[in-house]
Structure 1
Amino acid sequence: MAHPLEDTLIARQITPTPMRLLVLDVLQQEPTALSLADVELHLKHADRITVHRTLKTFTDKGLVHRIEDGSGAVKFALCAPDCTPGQHQDLHVHFFCLRCREASCLPTTAVPTIALPGAYQVQETSLVMKGLCPRCASDAALPA
Protein backbone atom coordinates (compact mmCIF):
# COMPACT_ATOMS: atom_id res chain seq x y z
CA MET A 1 0.00 0.00 0.00
CA ALA A 2 1.39 3.39 -1.02
CA HIS A 3 1.97 6.18 1.47
CA PRO A 4 -0.31 9.28 1.16
CA LEU A 5 2.72 11.51 0.53
CA GLU A 6 3.86 9.20 -2.27
CA ASP A 7 0.34 9.23 -3.73
CA THR A 8 0.39 13.05 -3.74
CA LEU A 9 3.69 13.13 -5.65
CA ILE A 10 2.68 10.42 -8.10
CA ALA A 11 -0.60 12.23 -8.83
CA ARG A 12 1.49 15.24 -9.94
CA GLN A 13 3.85 13.02 -11.96
CA ILE A 14 6.69 13.59 -9.52
CA THR A 15 8.93 10.65 -8.74
CA PRO A 16 8.89 10.06 -4.99
CA THR A 17 12.40 10.31 -3.54
CA PRO A 18 13.31 10.47 0.14
CA MET A 19 14.07 14.21 -0.06
CA ARG A 20 10.87 15.01 -1.95
CA LEU A 21 8.85 13.10 0.62
CA LEU A 22 10.57 14.97 3.46
CA VAL A 23 10.01 18.39 1.86
CA LEU A 24 6.35 17.59 1.13
CA ASP A 25 5.87 16.44 4.72
CA VAL A 26 7.35 19.72 6.02
CA LEU A 27 5.06 21.77 3.75
CA GLN A 28 2.00 19.80 4.85
CA GLN A 29 2.83 20.14 8.55
CA GLU A 30 3.25 23.92 8.53
CA PRO A 31 0.19 26.20 8.48
CA THR A 32 2.14 29.07 6.89
CA ALA A 33 4.17 29.46 3.70
CA LEU A 34 7.86 28.58 4.04
CA SER A 35 11.01 29.96 2.47
CA LEU A 36 13.87 27.77 1.31
CA ALA A 37 15.68 28.64 4.55
CA ASP A 38 12.61 27.68 6.60
CA VAL A 39 12.44 24.26 4.93
CA GLU A 40 16.16 23.78 5.53
CA LEU A 41 15.68 24.50 9.25
CA HIS A 42 13.21 21.61 9.42
CA LEU A 43 15.61 19.33 7.53
CA LYS A 44 18.83 19.81 9.48
CA HIS A 45 21.11 17.72 7.25
CA ALA A 46 19.57 18.45 3.85
CA ASP A 47 21.60 19.81 0.97
CA ARG A 48 20.45 23.34 0.07
CA ILE A 49 20.66 22.71 -3.69
CA THR A 50 18.59 19.53 -3.40
CA VAL A 51 15.90 21.32 -1.37
CA HIS A 52 15.90 24.19 -3.90
CA ARG A 53 15.53 21.76 -6.82
CA THR A 54 12.76 19.94 -5.00
CA LEU A 55 10.80 23.17 -4.48
CA LYS A 56 11.34 24.11 -8.13
CA THR A 57 10.06 20.71 -9.26
CA PHE A 58 7.04 21.06 -6.97
CA THR A 59 6.32 24.51 -8.42
CA ASP A 60 6.77 23.36 -12.02
CA LYS A 61 4.40 20.42 -11.45
CA GLY A 62 1.68 22.53 -9.79
CA LEU A 63 2.13 21.10 -6.29
CA VAL A 64 3.24 24.36 -4.64
CA HIS A 65 3.00 28.03 -5.53
CA ARG A 66 5.45 30.84 -4.89
CA ILE A 67 4.58 33.82 -2.74
CA GLU A 68 6.59 37.02 -2.98
CA ASP A 69 5.46 38.79 0.16
CA GLY A 70 7.98 41.63 0.15
CA SER A 71 10.12 40.10 2.90
CA GLY A 72 12.96 39.46 0.47
CA ALA A 73 12.56 35.67 0.54
CA VAL A 74 10.26 33.77 -1.79
CA LYS A 75 7.89 31.56 0.19
CA PHE A 76 6.25 28.31 -0.90
CA ALA A 77 2.81 26.94 -0.04
CA LEU A 78 0.85 23.92 -1.19
CA CYS A 79 -1.39 24.51 -4.18
CA ALA A 80 -5.07 23.92 -4.56
CA PRO A 81 -5.91 20.49 -6.00
CA ASP A 82 -6.89 21.97 -9.39
CA CYS A 83 -3.45 23.50 -10.07
CA THR A 84 -1.60 22.03 -13.01
CA PRO A 85 1.94 22.36 -14.35
CA GLY A 86 2.27 25.88 -15.70
CA GLN A 87 -1.27 26.90 -14.67
CA HIS A 88 -1.60 27.65 -11.00
CA GLN A 89 -5.17 28.22 -9.83
CA ASP A 90 -4.17 29.80 -6.54
CA LEU A 91 -5.78 33.15 -7.16
CA HIS A 92 -6.29 34.04 -3.52
CA VAL A 93 -5.03 36.64 -1.09
CA HIS A 94 -1.83 36.09 0.84
CA PHE A 95 -1.26 37.75 4.19
CA PHE A 96 2.13 38.76 5.58
CA CYS A 97 2.34 39.47 9.32
CA LEU A 98 4.59 42.40 10.05
CA ARG A 99 5.33 41.15 13.57
CA CYS A 100 6.01 37.39 13.24
CA ARG A 101 6.98 37.67 9.53
CA GLU A 102 4.88 34.65 8.53
CA ALA A 103 3.04 34.50 5.21
CA SER A 104 -0.30 32.74 5.05
CA CYS A 105 -2.61 31.73 2.23
CA LEU A 106 -6.19 32.89 2.58
CA PRO A 107 -7.78 30.52 0.04
CA THR A 108 -11.36 31.64 0.68
CA THR A 109 -10.46 35.28 -0.03
CA ALA A 110 -10.30 35.76 -3.79
CA VAL A 111 -8.20 38.36 -5.55
CA PRO A 112 -10.62 40.81 -7.19
CA THR A 113 -10.63 41.13 -10.96
CA ILE A 114 -9.19 44.44 -12.06
CA ALA A 115 -9.90 45.79 -15.53
CA LEU A 116 -6.81 47.22 -17.15
CA PRO A 117 -6.87 49.84 -19.91
CA GLY A 118 -5.89 49.31 -23.50
CA ALA A 119 -3.73 46.42 -24.62
CA TYR A 120 -2.36 45.37 -21.22
CA GLN A 121 -2.38 41.59 -20.91
CA VAL A 122 -2.26 40.13 -17.40
CA GLN A 123 0.01 37.10 -17.10
CA GLU A 124 -0.03 36.73 -13.34
CA THR A 125 -1.87 38.31 -10.44
CA SER A 126 -1.01 38.27 -6.76
CA LEU A 127 -2.25 40.18 -3.79
CA VAL A 128 -0.32 40.37 -0.52
CA MET A 129 -1.93 42.15 2.37
CA LYS A 130 0.22 43.14 5.35
CA GLY A 131 -0.64 43.69 8.97
CA LEU A 132 -0.97 41.53 12.07
CA CYS A 133 -2.04 37.89 11.94
CA PRO A 134 -4.72 36.79 14.44
CA ARG A 135 -2.11 35.50 16.93
CA CYS A 136 -0.03 38.70 16.84
CA ALA A 137 -3.13 40.90 16.89
CA SER A 138 -4.38 39.16 20.05
CA ASP A 139 -0.91 39.47 21.62
CA ALA A 140 -0.92 43.21 20.81
CA ALA A 141 -4.29 43.58 22.56
CA LEU A 142 -2.89 42.17 25.82
CA PRO A 143 -1.83 44.73 28.43
CA ALA A 144 1.93 45.07 28.84
Structure 2
Amino acid sequence: MAHPLEDTLIAKQITPTAMRLLVLDVLVQHAAALSLADVEELLGHADRITVHRTLKTFTDKGLVHRIEDGSGAVKFALCEPSCTPEHHQDLHVHFFCTRCRETACLPTVAVPVIRLPGTYQVQETSLVMKGLCERCVNDLPTAAPTMQ
Protein backbone atom coordinates (compact mmCIF):
# COMPACT_ATOMS: atom_id res chain seq x y z
CA MET A 1 0.00 0.00 0.00
CA ALA A 2 1.48 3.33 -1.08
CA HIS A 3 2.05 6.17 1.36
CA PRO A 4 0.09 9.44 0.76
CA LEU A 5 3.33 11.44 0.43
CA GLU A 6 4.62 8.96 -2.16
CA ASP A 7 1.31 9.24 -4.02
CA THR A 8 1.67 13.04 -4.05
CA LEU A 9 5.16 12.83 -5.55
CA ILE A 10 4.17 10.20 -8.11
CA ALA A 11 1.14 12.28 -9.18
CA LYS A 12 3.55 15.12 -10.01
CA GLN A 13 5.91 12.72 -11.83
CA ILE A 14 8.57 13.03 -9.12
CA THR A 15 10.44 9.87 -8.18
CA PRO A 16 10.05 9.33 -4.43
CA THR A 17 13.36 9.30 -2.56
CA ALA A 18 14.00 9.42 1.16
CA MET A 19 15.00 13.10 1.04
CA ARG A 20 12.08 14.12 -1.16
CA LEU A 21 9.67 12.41 1.22
CA LEU A 22 11.27 14.14 4.21
CA VAL A 23 11.13 17.58 2.57
CA LEU A 24 7.52 17.08 1.47
CA ASP A 25 6.58 15.96 4.98
CA VAL A 26 8.12 19.16 6.43
CA LEU A 27 6.17 21.31 3.95
CA VAL A 28 2.92 19.46 4.65
CA GLN A 29 3.36 19.84 8.42
CA HIS A 30 3.84 23.64 8.30
CA ALA A 31 1.12 26.06 7.26
CA ALA A 32 3.59 28.91 6.76
CA ALA A 33 5.90 29.10 3.75
CA LEU A 34 9.43 27.92 4.54
CA SER A 35 12.84 29.06 3.35
CA LEU A 36 15.66 26.70 2.42
CA ALA A 37 17.24 27.44 5.81
CA ASP A 38 13.94 26.68 7.59
CA VAL A 39 13.65 23.30 5.85
CA GLU A 40 17.28 22.46 6.64
CA GLU A 41 16.80 23.36 10.31
CA LEU A 42 13.62 21.30 10.59
CA LEU A 43 15.33 18.29 9.00
CA GLY A 44 18.36 18.44 11.27
CA HIS A 45 21.61 17.62 9.53
CA ALA A 46 20.47 17.54 5.91
CA ASP A 47 22.76 18.34 3.00
CA ARG A 48 22.00 21.90 1.84
CA ILE A 49 22.59 21.12 -1.85
CA THR A 50 20.26 18.10 -1.75
CA VAL A 51 17.51 20.10 -0.03
CA HIS A 52 17.98 22.92 -2.56
CA ARG A 53 17.76 20.50 -5.50
CA THR A 54 14.68 18.89 -3.97
CA LEU A 55 12.91 22.25 -3.64
CA LYS A 56 13.90 23.14 -7.22
CA THR A 57 12.49 19.83 -8.48
CA PHE A 58 9.27 20.42 -6.52
CA THR A 59 8.98 23.91 -8.06
CA ASP A 60 9.75 22.70 -11.57
CA LYS A 61 7.10 19.97 -11.29
CA GLY A 62 4.34 22.23 -9.91
CA LEU A 63 4.35 20.85 -6.36
CA VAL A 64 5.52 24.04 -4.61
CA HIS A 65 5.74 27.69 -5.55
CA ARG A 66 8.37 30.28 -4.69
CA ILE A 67 7.53 33.38 -2.69
CA GLU A 68 9.77 36.42 -2.54
CA ASP A 69 8.31 38.25 0.46
CA GLY A 70 11.02 40.87 0.93
CA SER A 71 12.54 39.10 3.94
CA GLY A 72 15.72 38.35 2.01
CA ALA A 73 15.07 34.62 1.67
CA VAL A 74 12.96 32.92 -0.98
CA LYS A 75 10.25 30.84 0.67
CA PHE A 76 8.39 27.79 -0.59
CA ALA A 77 4.77 26.74 -0.10
CA LEU A 78 2.74 23.84 -1.41
CA CYS A 79 0.84 24.55 -4.62
CA GLU A 80 -2.80 23.99 -5.32
CA PRO A 81 -3.42 20.50 -6.77
CA SER A 82 -4.19 22.05 -10.17
CA CYS A 83 -0.66 23.46 -10.59
CA THR A 84 1.42 22.01 -13.39
CA PRO A 85 5.05 22.47 -14.43
CA GLU A 86 3.87 24.81 -17.17
CA HIS A 87 1.37 26.84 -15.15
CA HIS A 88 1.41 27.49 -11.43
CA GLN A 89 -1.94 28.51 -9.97
CA ASP A 90 -0.37 30.68 -7.27
CA LEU A 91 -1.86 34.03 -8.25
CA HIS A 92 -3.05 34.72 -4.75
CA VAL A 93 -1.97 37.15 -2.06
CA HIS A 94 0.91 36.22 0.20
CA PHE A 95 1.00 37.80 3.65
CA PHE A 96 4.26 38.49 5.50
CA CYS A 97 3.91 39.10 9.24
CA THR A 98 6.33 41.80 10.37
CA ARG A 99 6.25 40.47 13.93
CA CYS A 100 6.68 36.67 13.68
CA ARG A 101 8.22 36.88 10.15
CA GLU A 102 6.07 34.04 8.79
CA THR A 103 4.66 34.14 5.27
CA ALA A 104 1.23 32.70 4.59
CA CYS A 105 -0.57 31.93 1.35
CA LEU A 106 -4.05 33.43 1.16
CA PRO A 107 -5.49 31.41 -1.74
CA THR A 108 -8.98 32.91 -1.38
CA VAL A 109 -7.60 36.41 -2.03
CA ALA A 110 -6.82 36.76 -5.72
CA VAL A 111 -4.25 39.11 -7.19
CA PRO A 112 -6.13 41.64 -9.32
CA VAL A 113 -5.47 41.71 -13.06
CA ILE A 114 -3.61 44.87 -14.00
CA ARG A 115 -3.45 45.90 -17.65
CA LEU A 116 -0.17 47.47 -18.63
CA PRO A 117 0.23 50.02 -21.42
CA GLY A 118 1.93 49.43 -24.73
CA THR A 119 3.86 46.25 -25.36
CA TYR A 120 4.87 45.37 -21.80
CA GLN A 121 4.73 41.61 -21.33
CA VAL A 122 4.18 40.34 -17.80
CA GLN A 123 6.16 37.20 -17.02
CA GLU A 124 5.42 36.93 -13.32
CA THR A 125 3.02 38.56 -10.89
CA SER A 126 3.08 38.49 -7.13
CA LEU A 127 1.45 40.45 -4.37
CA VAL A 128 2.89 40.42 -0.88
CA MET A 129 1.04 42.27 1.84
CA LYS A 130 2.81 43.03 5.11
CA GLY A 131 1.48 43.60 8.59
CA LEU A 132 0.43 41.49 11.55
CA CYS A 133 -0.97 37.99 11.09
CA GLU A 134 -4.05 36.87 13.01
CA ARG A 135 -1.98 35.13 15.69
CA CYS A 136 0.23 38.17 16.32
CA VAL A 137 -2.75 40.55 16.38
CA ASN A 138 -4.43 38.33 18.99
CA ASP A 139 -1.20 38.23 21.05
CA LEU A 140 -1.00 42.02 21.33
CA PRO A 141 -1.78 43.39 24.78
CA THR A 142 -5.12 45.09 24.90
CA ALA A 143 -5.09 48.78 25.68
CA ALA A 144 -6.02 49.74 29.20
CA PRO A 145 -9.34 51.54 29.52
CA THR A 146 -8.94 55.30 29.60
CA MET A 147 -10.29 57.34 32.51
CA GLN A 148 -12.61 60.20 31.66
Shorter-chain TM range is: over 0.9
Q: Which residue of 2 aligns with 1:86?
A: 86
Give the deviation of 1:24 after TM superposition.
Answer: 0.2
1:11-65 Cα offsets, whole Å, 9 max, x none, are: 0000000000000000000010000000011100211110000000000000000
The 5-angstrom pairing of residues 56-135 of structure 1 reads: 56-135=56-135
Q: Provide TM-score, normalisation by structure 1.
A: 0.97
Q: Which residue of 2 aligns with 1:21?
A: 21
Distance 1:134 1:33 in 2: 16
Amino acid at match of 1:127: L
Amino acid at match of 1:85: P
Distance 1:35 1:101 in 2: 11
Give the deviation of 1:109 after TM superposition.
Answer: 0.3
Q: Which residue of 1 aligns with 2:137?
A: 137
Distance 2:56 2:142 in 1: 41
Distance 2:99 2:85 in 1: 34
Taking only aligned residues, the RMSD between alpha carbons, in angstroms, comes to 1.1
SS in 1 for 2:140: helix
1:58-111 Cα offsets, whole Å, 9 max, x none, are: 000000000000000000000011110131111100000000000000000000
- Computing the radius of gyration over CA atoms, which structure comes out larger, 1 or 2? 2
Q: Give runs of ≥4 in structure 1 deviating > 4 Å.
A: none
Give the deviation of 1:141 after TM superposition.
Answer: 4.1
SS in 2 for 1:76: strand
Distance 2:99 2:36 in 1: 20
Q: Which residue of 1 aligns with 2:37?
A: 37
SS in 2 for 1:96: strand
Q: Percent identity?
A: 81
Distance 1:142 1:49 in 2: 45
Gaps of 5+ in 1: none
Distance 2:129 2:42 in 1: 26
Q: Which residue of 2 aligns with 1:3?
A: 3
